[in-house]
């Protein structure tokens, strides 16, 4: 079975969707079932990283983007990540 070559445009679109999932779920402002904004941020980062892994980005890029998103959204501070 031959491997399909993905175009650069689809590669970038999938990356943007993954980044949107990481950062876009956080500021929705919905406070359902007692989940705090940090919980929404963690769920969004998890879904974004999982999306990027499943769409063929490997493990290194999604993991690094996820760690960066965790620090940027305030789920953890850089001191507690170390």
pLDDT in tens, the chain (82 residues): 556 676 888 889 999 999 998 888 765 566 677 777 788 888 889 999 999 999 988 899 999 999 999 888 888 888 887 7
56: exposed, middle or buried (C-beta count within 10 Å: 0-12, 13-18, 19+)? exposed
CA distances (Å), 79 to each of 38, 49, 67, 71, in order?
17, 22, 13, 10
69 within 8 A of 20, measured Cβ to Cβ: no
> Structure tokens of 67?
């760690």
């Amino acid at each position: 079975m031959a491997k399909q070559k993905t175009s650069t445009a689809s590669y970038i679109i999938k990356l943007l969707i993954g980044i949107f999932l990481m950062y876009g779920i956080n500021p929705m402002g919905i406070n359902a079932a007692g989940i705090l904004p940090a919980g929404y941020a963690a769920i969004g980062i998890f879904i974004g990283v999982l999306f990027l892994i499943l769409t063929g980005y490997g493990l290194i890029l999604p993991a690094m983007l996820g760690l960066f998103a965790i620090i940027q959204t305030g789920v953890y501070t850089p001191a507690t990540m170390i």
